[in-house]
Amino acid sequence: MSKIVPFDKSLKDGRRISIRHANVADAANHLKCIEACLRSGEGLVRLFDEWDRTEREHREAIRKALYSPREIIILAINERTIIGGLDFRSSKRSRLAHTGDFGMAIRKEWRGIGVGSILLSTLMDWAESNPDIEKVSLRVLASNAPAIALYKKLGFVEEGRLLREVKYENGLYSDELIMARFVDGSTAAGA
């Protein structure tokens, strides 16, 4: 089962948040957080109107993560409101099962004060204690400088760049970076 021991943490602005794995009862509250992040549109590839997961589907996704040894959903909560979350999943393919990737979304008003760093550090602690996970990967817009700085601060390195991967409604493009970190801290296979 993919769970973490819940804990509280102070942010840069002095507010406190709770960090814990998602439970099925969190589905509606977590969906509200995801929808708020999608509405802001900043730093994300998916548009708000492309998100159509129902509460029932989200409950099932959380249930699946709770019972999978290679998946986890980690939440950041302030006064019963989910303010951010991170969803890690590993491949079903045997030769890729040692790897996984994540997506992270934080409400706009909670960005830049340490929530992302706490969520990602929690994921890496979980991955380090998980005998199945060796590599954690992500994709990020090349224009998302704050996210890239966070990932680099926590040891992620760029492994590739997808040129003009994202096309905005105004006709402009953004590259997308592929970044990763090996759980053991190495930066190359066999290192």
Say if CB 4 and CB 128 are below 8 A apart.
no
Residue 72, strand partner residues: 88
The tens digit of pLDDT for each residue in 94-130 reads 999 999 999 999 999 999 999 999 999 999 999 999 9
Query: Which of 149, 150, 157 has the alpha carbon at shortest distance from 182?
Result: 157
pLDDT at 51 over 70: yes
pLDDT at 56 over 60: yes
pLDDT above 70 coverage of the chain, percent: 97
pLDDT at 92 over 60: yes
What's the pLDDT at 188? 57
pLDDT grade for 40, boundaries at 50, 70 and 90:
confident
Domains of the chain, residue spans: 7-182
CATH topology (fold) of 7-182: Aminopeptidase (3.40.630)
pLDDT above 90 coverage of the chain, percent: 84
How many residues does the structure list for the chain?
A: 191
The tens digit of pLDDT for each residue in 69-83 reads 999 999 999 999 999
In terms of pTM, does the model score above 0.85? yes
